[in-house]
Amino acid sequence: MNPKVDFFFDEASQWQEEYKLLRSIVLDTKLTEELKWGQPCYSYEGGNVVLIHGFKEYCALLLFKGALMQDPEGILIQQSENVQAGRQIRFTNVKEIKQLKKTLKTYIQEAIAIEKAGLKVVMKKTADYKVPEEFQQRLDKNPNLRRAFEALTPGRQRAYLFHFSQPKTSKTREARVEKAIGAILDGKGLND
C-alpha cells in the first residue's frame, strides 16, 4: 500500500467499499501502487498494468493493455469505439467483485505477463482516421492550415479529427472546424 494513495480510498463516497476490495485484490498481485491521473494505478517495473476508477453508474478496473488479453469470461468492456488499448471490468456492487475475485486475479496476472513480455497494442495511425469533408475542404483551400495541421503531433491530429467527426450535421462540423482553425495555426492541440 502506498500512503499517498490512501486518501482516494478514505474519501471516496459512492464506491468506497468496492474500491477497498478492488485495492486488496490488486495489491495481492504484488504490483506497485501509485497515484496517476488522480486514480490508484498499479504498475510492473514502471509499466502501467491496471487502474481503479469510478463513474456514476459503476466502478471499474481498467486494464491498460486489455485489448491484448484473452477474455474467457466475457467481462472485458471497450469503453467506446475510440478506445484502442484499454479494457474495463465493471462493477455495481461489492457482491459482484467478491464473485469474480479469483477471475480478477487471473486476468491481472495475464495483464502482468503481457507487460513483462513487453507486448504493445498496435494503435491506429492518424492516416487511418477519416478526415471529415468540412475539414478536408478547408485543408485543400488553405496550405498554411494544412502545413500547421501536419506539424501537430499525431495525438493532436487524431483529437481534432475525432472532434470534427462527432456532430451529425454538417453545419455543426463546419462550426467546430472554424472554431479550431486559429489553434491549429498556432500549433496547439484541441484542449491546449
Same domain, 135 and 73: no
Q: How many CA atoms lie within 13 Å of 89's alpha carbon, on the beta-carbon side?
A: 30
pLDDT reported for residue 84: 82
Query: Is the whole model's pTM more than 0.85, yes or no?
Result: no
Q: What's the total number of domains in the chain?
A: 2
- Rounded to whole angstroms, the Cα distance separating 116 from 110 reads 10
Same domain, 34 and 61: yes
Q: By mean pLDDT, which of 29-38, 78-87, 145-154, 175-184 is the weakest?
A: 78-87
Closest CA to 38 of 76, 65, 14, 12: 12
| Structural contact between residues 121 and 67, judged by C-beta atoms closer than 8 angstroms | yes
| Structural contact between residues 184 and 149, judged by C-beta atoms closer than 8 angstroms | yes
Kindly indicate the confidence band of residue 82, based on its pLDDT and cuts at 50, 70 and 90: confident
Same domain, 83 and 41: yes
Please tell me what DSSP assigns to residue 123.
Answer: P
For residue 112, give the CATH number of its domain.
Answer: 3.90.1150
* Cβ-proximal residues to 98 (8 Å cutoff; 6+ apart), any chain: 21
Same domain, 20 and 65: yes
Closest CA to 24 of 42, 43, 45: 42
Closest CA to 8 of 46, 44, 43, 34: 34
Confirm whether 93 is domain-assigned. Answer: yes
Confirm whether 11 is domain-assigned. Answer: yes
pLDDT at position 89 over 80? yes
Same domain, 25 and 76: yes
Residue 28: CB atoms within 10 A of its CB come to: 12
Supply φ then ψ for residue 100, to 5 degrees: -100, 10
The residue segments making up the domain with residue 135 are 126-185
Please provide the average confidence, as pLDDT, over all residues in the chain: 93
Q: Output Rg (C-alpha) for the chain, integer angstroms.
A: 20
Kindly indicate the confidence band of residue 162, based on its pLDDT and cuts at 50, 70 and 90: confident
| Structural contact between residues 145 and 139, judged by C-beta atoms closer than 8 angstroms | yes
* Cβ-proximal residues to 74 (8 Å cutoff; 6+ apart), any chain: none
- Rounded to whole angstroms, the Cα distance separating 75 from 77 reads 6
pLDDT at position 155 over 90? no
Q: How many CA atoms lie within 13 Å of 35's alpha carbon, on the beta-carbon side?
A: 10
- Reduced to 3 states, what is the DSSP secondary structure of residue 189? coil
Same domain, 60 and 98: yes
Same domain, 97 and 180: no
